[in-house]
Amino acid sequence: MAFVPLGSLLKKQIQAKPGVSGPVQASRVVLRACDVVTAKFPALAPRLTVVSFRDGVLTVKAASGAAAAETRLRETQLLAALRDEVGPGVVRSLRVRL
């Protein structure tokens, strides 16, 4: 059996599975979501923290009620930006908490 670097195996596994499967992919979605919020919603970014991603639900924490309300108003735009970034059907809904 030939030696295959671990990084190469992981990359093939991640690319072979569409959608999100496991902690590595969930972490990738959280990181990309942080980037999307910062790039596309700069006024909201300082008041919003991406907390977790599980079972298609991205959870964010708002710093205030006003930030939570604004996030909910922009939910459709945020989900569309995430779909463009991580692929369709990955992030299906957004949960906003205070």
pLDDT along the chain (98 residues), means of 10: 64 55 82 94 95 94 97 97 93 96
The per-residue pLDDT for 21 is 57
The per-residue pLDDT for 68 is 97
The answer to whether residue 8 is domain-embedded is no
CATH of the domain at 83: 3.30.300.180
The answer to whether residue 30 is domain-embedded is yes
The answer to whether residue 11 is domain-embedded is no
The answer to whether residue 26 is domain-embedded is yes
The per-residue pLDDT for 23 is 77
Q: pTM of the prediction?
A: 0.76
The answer to whether residue 1 is domain-embedded is no
Q: Which two tokens mark 41?
A: 């919603």
The per-residue pLDDT for 20 is 46
The answer to whether residue 5 is domain-embedded is no
Residues of the domain holding 32: 22-97
* Tally of domains within the chain: 1
> By the 8 A CB rule, do 51 and 88 touch?
no
The per-residue pLDDT for 34 is 94
The per-residue pLDDT for 76 is 97
The answer to whether residue 7 is domain-embedded is no
The per-residue pLDDT for 79 is 97
